[in-house]
Amino acid sequence: MLRRLTAVFLLAVGAVIFALSAVADRPTVIPFEVTFSIVVTDVCAFPINVDGTISGTETDYVDESGALTRISVNEVEQDTYTANGRTLVGTPFTFNEQVLFDSSGNVTHHYASGLIEKITLPDGSLFISAGRLDFTQHPGVRFILSPDMGHTGDLAAFCAALSP
């Protein structure tokens, strides 16, 4: 009887400890909305102004010690491109980002997957880039239209639509 009572007590204590650690490890979900403006000089032979809005949710995951291990972002973005007196307005598109950290808090991977851009060009055709971007392979680059894996839209048609 004493063994059974001890076993039940230990199970109960273990369940409480597990439950408390599970509460401490629960992901944090943060809604966000941001706007940005940048000048892109590496897509066409001329600079392009890009204004965008991004909204979505960021989910932060931590380990049992509270150290950040992963950030998962689900977002919707819409961009507007202007150059040479011309404007292209993109269709809102959805994609996901993952940022992974090592035990020291350093980023080991940062990638996005899904649509990268969707724009109806003046001739009625669609510029669509989709796939996977690995941001760790592009240090210092703030805006990318071509995925590392997947499909890149017709950059010549995109640039022609914004050319003088």
Q: What is the pLDDT of residues 101-146, one digit of tens each?
A: 999 999 999 999 999 999 999 999 999 999 999 999 998 888 899 9
Q: What per-residue confidence (pLDDT) applies to 142? A: 80
CA nearest to 96, candidates 78, 112, 108:
112
Tell me how long the chain is.
164
Task: Lowest mean pLDDT of 2-6, 44-48, 79-83, 155-159, name the range.
Answer: 2-6
Q: Is the pLDDT of residue 74 over 70?
A: yes
Q: What per-residue confidence (pLDDT) applies to 40? A: 95
In this structure, the number of other CB atoms found within 10 A of the CB of residue 111 comes to 18
CA distance 84 to 118: 21
Task: Lowest mean pLDDT of 10-19, 28-37, 61-70, 140-149, name the range.
Answer: 10-19
Q: What per-residue confidence (pLDDT) applies to 141? A: 84
Residue 68: half-sphere exposure toward Cβ, Cα within 13 Å? 15
Q: What per-residue confidence (pLDDT) applies to 161? A: 97
CA distance 9 to 16: 11
Tokens of residue 126, six digits: 């669609």
Q: Which residues pair with 48 in a beta bridge?
A: 40
Domain ranges of the chain: 27-162
Q: What per-residue confidence (pLDDT) applies to 160? A: 97
Split at pLDDT 50, 70, 90, the class of 147 is: very high
Instruction: Kindly give, in sequence order, each residue whose CB lies less than 8 Å from that of residue 158, ignoring residues fewer than 6 positions away.
Output: 43, 44, 88, 119, 121, 127, 145
Q: What per-residue confidence (pLDDT) applies to 19? A: 45
